[in-house]
Amino acid sequence: MTTLFHLCAHSVVQLHSLDFSFRLQLSKTYPALIKPSSLCVYRINMQRNKQVAMGRKKFNMDPKKGIQFLIENELLKNTCEDIAQFLYKGEGLNKTAIGDYLGERDEFNIQVLHAFVELHEFTDLNLVQALRQFLWSFRLPGEAQKIDRMMEAFAQRYCQCNPGVFQSTDTCYVLSFAIIMLNTSLHNPNVKDKPSAERFICMNRGINDGGDLPEDLLRNLYESIKNEPFKIPEDDGNDLTHTFFNPDREGWLLKLGGRVKTWKRRWFILTDNCLYYFEYTTDKEPRGIIPLENLSIREVDDSKKPNCFELFIPDNKDQVIKACKTEADGRVVEGNHTFYRISAPTTEEKEEWIKSIKAAISRDPFYEMLAARKKKASSLKRQ
């Protein structure tokens, strides 16, 4: 027993890695070996680690609530710099959730976005290399306005790190999008007409404040993407990149059940004339799919929820909408809604969702936004 005591005393520094129950028993047998203060610190550290893990889990399900939890428990400072560091390290965080938080338009979130981008070092990297680094640190959200803010921040940071490469941030912004779309065109198996280097060069003429970028630069960027596609974070093997990479709109909404009239919070994605909804942003597959073909949308009043709108079949109110959902046991079944009633968090978001759904069939706001920026970059005169 004396030998054991001396051996343990000699290795006291290693006791911090022992199981807590064993440490507690050891403290009863050899009270001089482990001080009460050591056990207290151990308990505090264990509790802190549990709270951090809980905060990460909350963040992955709802980024704002996760950040709020970590701040309230003094695990994170309420500063844009500290939150940006937390997201940049990304330990245990879902990259879709990181992108969702960074893309929000609240002033504080925008400050966090800029602090996050400042943590990236792009000096002496070509644009493709910088994009590879940037797009791997989170998953780019699908909503056009979120993409706009994030890519604008990227372009500003790249030009700050590499002065003189482009005449303006607009040039960097437009070329960055051209590269992202080139990546999709070259490596998405659904795209049959693969662009050549010559077409890529031609498409980007006049974007450098009205002038052309060096052909060698564009050709090198093309070859880099052709030889190695972007690695898009897919979070636990979710292979829905091509389906949901660029939706028209996405966000949290409340949905009224079909047979059982209860409200449930769901993550909605609008893309390809369909409305998908998920239980969490991290889910690999949607809980339901609502094809928008032959449907109409209208604002409605509801006694229990504000900011409501409905999807319905015009002139046929009793007909069941053709849709599908996934049951708890994994079975895919037909939906039983004659209408889908949905509640948005605010009046403004309700109006934006209605506008996006109405426009989904006829146009894509992402490409309209990009076309406007390209027109601006091409029309500027070189100083």
In one-letter notation, the amino acid at residue 269 is I
The sheet carrying 274-278 orders its strands as 296-300, 308-312, 339-343, 249-256, 263-271, 274-278, 288-291, 324-326, 332-334
Positions annotated as catalytic residues are: 143
- Answer yes or no: are the C-beta atoms of 336 and 258 closer than 8 Å: yes
Q: Beta strand pairing status for 288-291 and 249-256?
A: unpaired
Going by C-beta distance under 8 Å and a sequence separation of 6 or more, which residues neighbour residue 362? Answer: none
Q: What CA dihedral angle connects 292, 189, 282 and 360, to 10 degrees?
A: -20
Element (DSSP H or E) covering residue 58: helix 36-61
| Number of other residues whose CB lies within 10 A of the CB of residue 361 | 9
SS3 324: strand
Element (DSSP H or E) covering residue 10: helix 2-10
